């Protein structure tokens, strides 16, 4: 694998060259010094000076290359790789009805995850206290001091002004508007914290360790209480000018008139997300179109999208039609995204994505029917394989990407050099 922008790296000098070497080791290591020279176009002596410093700083570590079967090639050759276990990241995935807090290593691999079913609408004070409690438990059970936490990443179910880490008028998060989450976490844990919208975080997770590791242009669509999309463009998260790119839940659907809390009629979210599925299921039960749904309704007094999934698994025709109908509407919007953006992959995730294959096949059918033939030529539409963990992985990866950005590592190397 070649580094994509090795040409850019050539010509860099000083700490910036060190940061470029670090990135190559982190992304495609383990590598020998000779391979780094080849990848970067930098001189042997420059690579030698900077790798020495990166080792001293604890950013990379040495590894002996494993010998091949014949035992001849690579014996005693020294490789360099990212020191992913030299520190930890706390990753937080806050959903409408649940909270996951995980301890991860510096490569966003989950070491331990705590799950809690707190409601986001119980407000920031209660939820942030719960987060503190879970972080404390994670540190205790892994016998870690707080100073080993290098950063915190957090996804929340609403729009966020990323640079300031502030939720902005999040519709399902009453009381959280402009709540200074970044500041609160940074002051409490004395490390950098990064807050973003949950769908963005999930897209970053798929890029880092999910279905999209080798995909440069893709869209992650989350279907849950709401519907949103995270956009990865040329390997980077695209946030848009105000950070609300991908807010597809309020795109209008043909022939739909239902009033959305946003003030418009027939928005995708209000006619196809989890609550819409539950509402249609209740109507089907009351109209006696489905005995299974009626039984569940009578027993529980209410129906959720999860119950519809259960009825689908039991081949209930009314439930299957409700799910297909949602899939068609999501597919209608997805086809517009495909025509506009030409991704090579669409990943479907979120709680409602677990409802069964009828949802994704309806989305696929609709996209194929409505998109231009060139746009769908190599297009794949797939269900997230790590649906329950992808937000936590993405929150950790977002923090790692920010902490070890080119500029930050350049600065670390500069400060380290001048202090000696």
Using CB under 5 A, list all residues that contact Zn ion: 250, 260, 262, 264, 267
In DSSP terms, which residues pair with 105 in a beta bridge? 88
Shortest Å, Cβ 173 to Zn ion: 16
Structure tokens at 83: 């020191």
Q: Which is nearer to Zn ion, 53 or 250 (CB)?
A: 250
Shortest Å, Cβ 172 to Zn ion: 13
Shortest Å, Cβ 29 to Zn ion: 46
Structure tokens at 84: 């992913």
Q: Which is nearer to Zn ion, 260 or 413 (CB)?
A: 260
Q: Which is nearer to Zn ion, 115 or 262 (CB)?
A: 262
Of 221, 201, 30, the C-alpha closest to 102 is: 201
Q: Which is nearer to Zn ion, 211 or 260 (CB)?
A: 260
**Main-chain dihedrals φ then ψ at residue 149, nearest 5 degrees:** -85, 115
Report in angstroms the alpha-carbon separations of 221 from 123, 155, 248, 330. Answer: 26, 15, 9, 9
Q: Report how far residue 295's alpha carbon sits from residue 219's, in angstroms, rounded to the nearest whole number.
A: 38
Q: Which is nearer to Zn ion, 107 or 256 (CB)?
A: 256
| Burial tier of 69 (Cβ tally within 10 Å: 0-12, 13-18, 19+) | exposed
Shortest Å, Cβ 262 to Zn ion: 3
**Main-chain dihedrals φ then ψ at residue 268, nearest 5 degrees:** -50, -45
Q: How far is CA 280 from the centre of its chain?
A: 30
Shortest Å, Cβ 321 to Zn ion: 24
Q: Which is nearer to Zn ion, 98 or 171 (CB)?
A: 171
Shortest Å, Cβ 250 to Zn ion: 4
Torsion, Cα of 11, 14, 15, 18 (10° steps) = 60
């Amino acid at each position: 694998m070649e580094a994509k922008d090795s040409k850019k790296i050539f010509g860099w000098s000083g700490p910036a060259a060190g940061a470029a070497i670090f990135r190559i080791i982190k992304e495609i290591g383990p590598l020998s010094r000779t391979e780094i020279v080849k990848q970067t176009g930098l001189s042997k002596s420059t690579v030698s000076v900077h790798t020495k410093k990166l080792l001293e700083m604890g950013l990379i570590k040495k590894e002996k290359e494993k010998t091949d079967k014949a035992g001849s090639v690579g014996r005693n050759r020294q490789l360099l790789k990212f020191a992913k276990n030299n520190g930890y990241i706390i990753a937080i995935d806050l959903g409408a009805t649940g909270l996951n807090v995980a301890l991860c290593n510096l490569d966003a691999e989950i070491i331990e995850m705590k799950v809690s079913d707190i409601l986001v609408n119980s407000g920031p004070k209660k939820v942030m206290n719960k987060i503190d409690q879970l972080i404390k438990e994670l540190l205790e059970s892994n016998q870690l001091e707080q100073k080993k936490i290098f950063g915190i990443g957090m996804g929340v179910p609403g729009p966020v002004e990323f640079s300031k880490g502030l939720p902005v008028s999040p519709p399902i998060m009453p009381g959280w508007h402009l709540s200074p989450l970044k500041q609160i976490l940074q002051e409490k844990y004395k490390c950098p914290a990064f807050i973003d919208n949950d769908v963005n975080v999930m897209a970053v997770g798929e890029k880092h360790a999910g279905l999209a590791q080798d995909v440069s242009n893709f869209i992650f669509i989350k279907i849950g209480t709401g519907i949103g999309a995270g956009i990865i463009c040329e390997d980077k998260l695209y946030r848009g000018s105000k950070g609300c790119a991908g807010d597809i839940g309020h795109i209008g659907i043909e022939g739909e008139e239902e009033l959305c809390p946003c003030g418009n009629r027939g928005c995708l979210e209000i006619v196809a997300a989890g609550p819409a599925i539950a509402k249609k299921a209740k109507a089907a039960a009351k109209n006696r179109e489905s005995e299974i749904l009626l039984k569940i309704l009578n027993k529980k007094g209410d129906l959720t999208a999860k119950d519809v999934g259960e009825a689908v698994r039991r081949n209930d025709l009314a439930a299957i039609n409700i799910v297909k109908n949602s899939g068609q509407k999501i597919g209608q919007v997805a086809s517009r995204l495909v025509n506009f953006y030409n991704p090579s992959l669409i990943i479907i995730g979120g709680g409602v994505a677990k409802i069964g294959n009828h949802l994704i096949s309806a989305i696929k059918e609709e996209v194929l029917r409505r998109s231009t033939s060139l746009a769908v030529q190599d297009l794949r539409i797939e269900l997230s394989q790590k649906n329950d963990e992808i937000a936590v992985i993405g929150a950790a990866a977002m923090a790692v990407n920010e902490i070890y950005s080119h500029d930050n590592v350049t600065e670390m190397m500069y400060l380290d050099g001048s202090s000696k």
